[in-house]
């Protein structure tokens, strides 16, 4: 085993690798950008080195040499599947904790990968994958394969550049669009055409191989719950497969690994027809550790990072295929910094408060800490919450309860959406396919539909504000509790939920004994004792965090950002914000400003373009009128809900 390993990554995976290194007694070295100087993965390591970028392979190799590291663990993402980086490590006398560079290259090109595994007898999706196909040849190939057809870039994955075509008339534009995106994302516009499998399920097999010719599979993971080709929830084993199907797919995956001289951890991904579980086709092989590896660890009892390190150190695999046994069921949910109610736009901000789940059979892989800044420079995945159960139903129940106890205030996340997804009848029944999530988003009752802020949340916010003022100034004549000689009067407040309309909340009395009126509703007896609210005879617990005039309130995995405006009695009860205020839908960078102060603009006219995490969003004028304020400037960083422009209607 190595004495010292450098972790060439950040966030939750770097923390997770450091955890295994510590258990094995191996010294760990972290690398970090300037923005990550105080990040949890830096604190988790024994030593840390500042580098310009996590994509700067030369700087990482130099950091490893300078700190005496013997090996480099790349995690996933960044340089984990970069053959040139693997070779650079070898040239510097460092062990790359991953497969040989030749295996990375063989599986990194989808066309070459399909041909390689097909020669080894692995079933592949019918299609055409000759390199250098012209647009006309690609169109003819698609028609030959048969519609519906999936156009895919050869050089990369993650859903970028993929186009599903059901109508022949749409082929020319789909090919042109796919080439543009593939070129922008991977620097290569080569496309291949594959038959689209109806009602597809995404099932992958975890394989391990050593340098002594041994190879095994560790069962499968179901990854069909996806949005825009990105996984959201994964589980092991799949509710679709029986033991015979698992054995067949596992043998196929091992054959694929052997075909390229594989060493280390790898994942062979298959598309499986939900209608015909016995029909499966190779999609691609990921030559690294997967994000969803914890579910395999929970059902096998194995530490996959330890197995990676031992294989890289030249040790033989410590188990044969007959030693692999699956126990129970595990489900993982990915926590993202994104807003489902805003089309899953990336979010950001400072982590004001954080309470992550714990308990028996619950695991959290996280790179978060209170005070951390979440921005748009890196992937929006923040953490993974994983639960194990003796059966699938119990694993789902435990995961839902774990997510209900997840409290992150200051950064909007998808936790409430994840809970709704886990309770979807098809998910509970195991009736999955890769289109289920997208189909479940539409309509007023869709999984991501914006919901009104519950009255008890608004009441809790008003009472928390009342209590803060009571604590700040104990003089009863200065407390804004509406007291009048002989009686209490109503104290009004106006708060605006993020992305919502202003709401008036009135309080009569003190925080520990009051009446609260939300909007035009009837008065309700309420009190706030610490974080516990009693409202109309119901008692619930909340988490609170304040950031200036914004109060964050969390409960049951959901979080609400409520911005306090002028008191209603100081503003004549007027609304706190006009309809002509443009706010940034996500934290990011202003790419372009398409108007100037004093300009007349039409409703729906594009005014500002904001970019975050390589996603552009055009903000349009909500009303026709005159631009009276325009604080947005090209190149400037903006926060979520930052004012970009103000339009005076008329």
Tell which wins on pLDDT, 639 or 5: 5
Eight-state DSSP code of residue 427: H
pTM of the model: 0.83
Domain boundary among 407, 439, 471: 439
b/e map 47-63, b = 16+ CB within 10 Å: ebbebeebebbebbbeb
How many Å apart are CA 187 and CA 190, to the nearest integer? 9
Same domain assignment for residues 420 and 513: no
Higher pLDDT, residue 427 or 127: 427
Q: How far apart are CA 189 and CA 388, in angstroms?
A: 42
- Is there a single domain that holds both residue 598 and residue 619? yes
Residues 478, 611 within the same domain: no
Q: Tell me whether residue 405 is in a domain.
A: yes
Q: For the range 170-179, what are the long-range contacts, defined as Cβ-Cβ under 8 Å and sequence gap of 24 or more?
A: 171/139, 171/142, 171/143, 172/135, 172/139, 175/135, 175/138, 175/139, 175/151, 176/135, 178/151, 178/152, 178/153, 179/135
At 579 the pLDDT is: 57
**Phi, psi at residue 564, to the nearest 5°?**
-85, 135
Tokens representing residue 586 in the block: 């996500």
| DSSP string across 254-274 | HHHHHHTT--EEEEEEEEEES
- Cα gap 14→72, rounded to integer Å: 12
Percent helix, strand, coil in the chain, to 5, is 30, 35, 40
- Kindly give the residue spans of alpha helices, DSSP state H, lying in 413-477: 415-422, 425-429, 436-439, 455-472
Provide Rg for the chain, Cα atoms: 27
d(CA 142, CA 193): 6
Q: How confident is the model at residue 468 (pLDDT cuts 50, 70, 90)?
A: confident
Distances (CA, A) of 258 to 82, 97, 212, 271: 20, 18, 12, 20
618, 435, 174, 167: which is closest to 182 by C-alpha?
174
Question: Do residue 165 and residue 253 come from a single domain?
Answer: no
Beta bridge partners of 590: 610
Looking at the structure, do residues 220 and 365 belong to the same domain, yes or no?
yes
- For residue 506, whether the previous peptide bond is cis, meaning omega lies within 30 degrees of 0, is no
What span, in angstroms and rounded, lies between the C-alpha atoms of 619 and 629? 15
Q: Is residue 444 part of a domain?
A: no
Which residue segment(s) compose the domain that 630 sits in? 581-649
Inter-residue contact 536 to 523 (CB < 8 Å): no
175/276 same-domain check: no
Residue 568 above 80 pLDDT? no
Q: Give the CATH number for residue 79.
A: 3.40.50.20
* Model pLDDT, residue 524: 97
Interatomic CA distance for residues 324 and 278, integer angstroms: 22
- pLDDT tens column, 399-449: 999 999 999 999 999 999 999 999 999 999 999 999 999 999 987 789 988
Q: What is the pLDDT of residue 263?
A: 97
Q: In angstroms, how far is the first alpha carbon of the chain from the final one?
A: 73
Q: Which residues contact 405 (CB under 8 A, 6 or more apart)?
A: 355, 357, 557
- Cα–Cα distance for residue pair 361/413, rounded to 1 Å: 23
CATH code, domain with 331: 3.30.470.20
Mean pLDDT of 605-630: 84
Q: Are residues 161 and 237 in the same domain?
A: no
| CA distances, 553 to each of 46, 103, 357, 459 (Å) | 36, 49, 17, 11
Q: Are residues 508 and 416 in the same domain?
A: no
Clarify whether residues 143 and 208 are in a common domain.
no
pLDDT band at 511 (very low <50, low <70, confident <90, very high): very high
CATH number for the domain including 537? 3.30.700.30
Residue 121 lies inside a defined structural domain of this protein? no
Please tell me the least confidently modeled range out of 300-314, 463-477, 581-595. Answer: 463-477
Supply the CATH number for residue 606's domain.
2.40.50.100
Residue that terminates a domain, selected from 164, 195, 226 = 195
Domain boundary among 149, 177, 195: 195
pLDDT band at 572 (very low <50, low <70, confident <90, very high): very low
Q: Is 639 part of a structural domain of the chain?
A: yes
Residue 273 shares a structural domain with residue 422: yes
**Digit-coded pLDDT (tens) for 31-66:** 999 999 999 999 999 999 999 999 999 999 999 999
Q: How many domains does the chain have?
A: 5
Looking from the CA of 591 toward its CB, the CA atoms found within 13 Å total 13
Confidence of residue 545 (pLDDT cuts 50, 70, 90): very high
Is the predicted pLDDT of residue 302 greater than 80, yes or no? yes
Instruction: For residues 546 and 481, state if they share a domain.
Output: yes
Percent of the chain, pLDDT > 70?
94
Do 164 and 206 belong together in one domain?
A: no
CB atoms within 10 A of CB 46: 14
């Amino acid at each position: 085993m190595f004495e010292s390993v450098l972790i060439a990554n950040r966030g939750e995976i770097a923390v997770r690798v450091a955890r295994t290194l510590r258990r094995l007694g191996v010294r760990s070295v972290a690398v970090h950008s300037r923005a990550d100087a105080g990040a949890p993965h830096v604190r988790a390591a024994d030593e840390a080195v500042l580098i310009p970028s996590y994509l700067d392979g030369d700087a990482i190799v130099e950091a490893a040499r300078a700190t005496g590291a013997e090996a480099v663990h790349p995690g996933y993402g960044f340089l984990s599947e970069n053959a040139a980086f693997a070779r650079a490590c070898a040239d510097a006398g460092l062990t790359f904790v991953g497969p040989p560079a030749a295996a990375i290259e063989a599986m990194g090109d989808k066309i070459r990968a399909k041909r390689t595994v097909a020669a080894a007898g692995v079933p592949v999706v019918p299609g055409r994958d000759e390199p250098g196909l012209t647009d006309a040849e690609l169109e003819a190939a698609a028609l030959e394969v048969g519609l519906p057809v999936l156009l895919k870039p050869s050089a990369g994955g993650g859903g970028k550049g993929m186009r599903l075509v059901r109508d022949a008339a749409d082929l020319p534009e789909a090919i042109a669009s796919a080439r543009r995106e593939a070129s922008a994302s991977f620097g290569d516009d080569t496309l291949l055409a594959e038959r689209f499998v109806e009602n597809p399920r995404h099932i992958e097999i975890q394989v391990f191989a050593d340098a002594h010719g041994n190879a095994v599979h560790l069962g499968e993971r179901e990854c069909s719950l996806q949005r825009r080709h990105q996984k959201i929830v994964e589980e092991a084993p799949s509710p679709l497969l029986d033991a015979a199907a698992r054995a067949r797919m596992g043998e196929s995956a091992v054959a694929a690994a052997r075909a390229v001289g594989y060493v280390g951890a790898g994942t062979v991904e298959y598309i499986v027809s939900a209608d015909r579980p016995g029909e499966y086709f190779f999609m691609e092989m990921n030559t690294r550790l997967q994000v969803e590896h914890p579910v395999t660890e929970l059902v096998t009892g194995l530490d996959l990072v330890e197995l990676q390190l031992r294989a890289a150190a030249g040790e033989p695999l410590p188990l044969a295929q007959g030693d692999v046994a699956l126990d129970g069921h595990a489900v993982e949910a990915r926590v993202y910094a994104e807003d489902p109610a805003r089309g899953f736009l990336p979010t950001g901000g400072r982590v004001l408060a954080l309470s992550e789940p714990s308990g028996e059979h619950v695991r959290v892989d996280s790179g978060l800490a209170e005070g951390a800044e979440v921005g748009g420079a890196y992937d929006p995945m923040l953490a993974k919450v994983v639960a194990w159960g003796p059966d699938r139903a119990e694993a789902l129940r435990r995961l839902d309860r774990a997510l209900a106890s997840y409290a992150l205030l200051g950064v909007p996340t998808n936790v409430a959406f994840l809970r709704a997804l886990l309770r979807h009848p098809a998910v509970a029944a195991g009736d999955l396919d890769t289109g289920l999530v997208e189909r479940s988003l539409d309509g007023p009752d869709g999984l991501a539909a914006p919901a009104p802020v519950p009255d008890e949340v608004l009441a809790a916010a008003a009472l928390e504000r009342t209590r803060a003022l009571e604590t700040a100034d104990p003089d009863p004549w200065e407390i804004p509790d509406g007291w009048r000689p002989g009686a209490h009067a109503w104290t009004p407040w106006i708060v605006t939920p993020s992305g919502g309309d202003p709401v008036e909340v009135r309080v009569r009395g003190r925080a520990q004994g009051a009446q609260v009126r939300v909007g035009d509703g009837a008065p309700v007896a309420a009190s706030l004792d610490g974080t516990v609210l009693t409202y109309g005879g119901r008692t619930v617990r909340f988490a609170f965090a304040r950031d200036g005039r914004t109060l964050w309130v969390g409960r049951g995995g959901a979080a609400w950002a409520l911005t306090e405006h002028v008191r209603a009695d100081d503003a004549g009860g007027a609304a706190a914000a006009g309809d002509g205020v443009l706010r940034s839908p996500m934290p990011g960078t202003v790419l372009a400003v398409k108007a100037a102060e004093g300009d007349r603009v039409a409703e729906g006219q594009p005014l500002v373009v904001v970019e975050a995490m390589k996603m552009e969003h055009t903000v349009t004028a909500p009303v026709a009128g005159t631009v009276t304020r325009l604080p947005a400037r090209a190149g400037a960083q903006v926060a979520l809900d930052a004012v970009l422009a103000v339009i005076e209607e008329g």
